[in-house]
Amino acid sequence: MGLSSGFHWIIILVIVMLVFGAGRISNVMGELGKGLKSFKQGMADEDDEKVRRYEEQRRNDPPRQLPRDEARPQEPIDVTPRPADPAVPPRDDQAR
């Protein structure tokens, strides 16, 4: 049966409260909540610092340019789709 039943968890909670006391459990949970909040804030600060450093580096670096062939002017690339050649099946008298 295991510990998946809600009744088992209620019994375990009552035993823990008897051993540690309700005040002690609330103090521990409060400290756990403060710790999680502090951890999330620290992670957010770290992310903000990374974004700030990236933006600063991007502003200080000169813009990258692609090399161009100065001898001839650049022409636009034709990206018009072309119809495919119809596939002609081989005849029986041709070698495969």
94 located within any domain: no
12 located within any domain: yes
Domain span holding position 30: 6-59
pLDDT tens per residue across all 96 residues of the chain: 566 788 888 888 888 888 877 777 778 888 889 999 998 888 888 888 888 888 888 888 877 776 666 656 667 888 888 887 777 777 777 665
39 located within any domain: yes
SS3 per residue for 2-59: CCCCHHHHHHHHHHHHHHHCHHHHHHHHHHHHHHHHHHHHHHHHHHHHHHHHHHHHHH
38 located within any domain: yes
Number of domains comprising the chain: 1
CA–CA gap between residue 46 and residue 52 (Å, rounded): 10
